[in-house]
């Protein structure tokens, strides 16, 4: 039974990581195509993408969107979660359902709806439109995490602060936010990773200032190349750094 458990574990991690390992290995391919056989190690493709102006601009655009849109989504989700956790209204269940509903809708449907709405109100395809789209998909995630993290002891602490004369913004800033720091950080980092590699909304809502996933798609249109593997490896590296940072800070602190 022990050997079966280990075999299952190896097969599971192999199934998950083998495509990524293959991507990384062939990003060092000393040849024109990222396919077997492996012809040797070269850093030519990494140098090529790091000196590619369009690629670096797309990288900067992705960082801007992936940092700002989670901040907006986190702020709105925090305010909504704090309000709905504190006050029970006749339509509270419906409000929570509406806030979480975008999580069940395809990104394609959301992007098409936003594109039509933006055309009606005069917002052109741009990084702003993409950022708004990412707020729409990240707000339900942030709200769900924060609402679930607000327990009875948080509610009691917030009520006590109000009874002692604290204003609402002081209650939120000095009491609620510090108590929810792990949940706030987890929500932000998850929203960052979702926004960082999101493609469909960015593809439909940008025109000239594209994000990194859209630029990678443009590269793939001209065929496979180790350069695309190199870009994918760098994107994967950023995701790994975020996960390791979470593990070393929030999750380890929570386990202690």
Q: Which residue ranges form the domains of the chain, and what is each CATH number?
A: 2-255 (1.10.3720.10)
Lowest mean pLDDT among 8-12, 27-31, 53-57, 184-188: 27-31
pTM for this model (two decimals): 0.80
Mean pLDDT on 95-121:
88
Query: To which residue do tokens 């012809």 refer?
Result: 39
Mean pLDDT on 154-164:
75
pLDDT the model gives residue 51: 84
Count of beta carbons in the 10 Å neighbourhood of residue 158: 21
Reduce the secondary structure of the chain to three states and give it as a string.
CHHHHHHHHHHHHHHHHHHHHHHHHHHHECCCCCCCCCCCECCHHHHHHHCCHHHHHHHHHHHHHHHHHHHHHHHHHHHHHHHHHHCCCCCHHHHHHHHHHHHHCCHHHHHHHHHHHHHHHCCCCCHHHHHHHHHHHHHHHHHHHHHHHCCHHHHHHHHHHHHCCCCHHHHHHHHHHHHCHHHHHHHHHHHHHHHHCCCHHHHHHCCCCCCHHHHHHHHHCCCCCHHHHHHHHHHHHHHHHHHHHHHHHHHHHHHC
pLDDT the model gives residue 253: 54
Q: Report the mean per-residue pLDDT for the chain.
A: 82
Mean pLDDT on 217-245:
78
**Residue 149 φ/ψ, nearest 5 degrees:** -80, -15
pLDDT the model gives residue 169: 76
Selection from 9-18, 101-110, 131-140 with the highest mean pLDDT: 131-140
More confident: 25 or 134: 134
- Phi-psi label, residue 41: left if phi above 0, alpha if psi -120 to 50, beta otherwise: beta
pLDDT the model gives residue 206: 87
Rounded Cα distance, 205 and 81, in Å: 28
pLDDT the model gives residue 166: 75
pLDDT the model gives residue 138: 93
pLDDT category of residue 73 using cuts at 50, 70 and 90: very high
Mean pLDDT on 89-103:
81
pLDDT the model gives residue 139: 93
């Amino acid at each position: 039974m022990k050997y079966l458990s280990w075999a299952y574990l190896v097969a599971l991690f192999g199934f998950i990581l083998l495509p990524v390992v293959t991507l990384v290995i062939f990003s060092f391919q000393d040849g024109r195509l990222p396919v077997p056989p492996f012809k040797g190690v070269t850093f030519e493709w990494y140098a090529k993408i790091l000196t590619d102006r369009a690629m670096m601009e797309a990288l900067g655009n992705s960082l801007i969107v992936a940092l700002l849109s989670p901040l907006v989504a986190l702020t709105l989700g925090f305010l909504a979660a704090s309000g709905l956790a504190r006050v029970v209204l006749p339509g509270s269940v419906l409000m929570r359902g509406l806030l979480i509903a975008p999580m069940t809708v395809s990104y394609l449907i959301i992007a098409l709806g936003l594109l039509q709405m933006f055309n009606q109100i005069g917002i052109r395809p741009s990084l702003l439109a993409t950022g708004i789209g990412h707020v729409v998909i990240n707000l339900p995630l942030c709200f769900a995490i924060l609402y679930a993290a607000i327990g009875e002891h948080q509610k009691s602490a917030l009520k006590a602060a109000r009874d002692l004369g604290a204003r609402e913004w002081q209650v939120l800033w000095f009491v609620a936010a510090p108590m929810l720091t792990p949940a706030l950080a987890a929500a932000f980092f998850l929203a960052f990773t979702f926004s960082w590699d999101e493609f469909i909304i960015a593809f439909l809502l940008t025109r000239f200032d594209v994000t990194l996933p859209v630029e990678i798609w443009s590269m793939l249109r001209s065929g496979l190349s180790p350069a695309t593997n190199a870009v994918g490896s760098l994107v994967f590296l950023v995701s790994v750094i975020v996960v390791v940072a979470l593990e070393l800070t929030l999750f380890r602190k929570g386990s202690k």
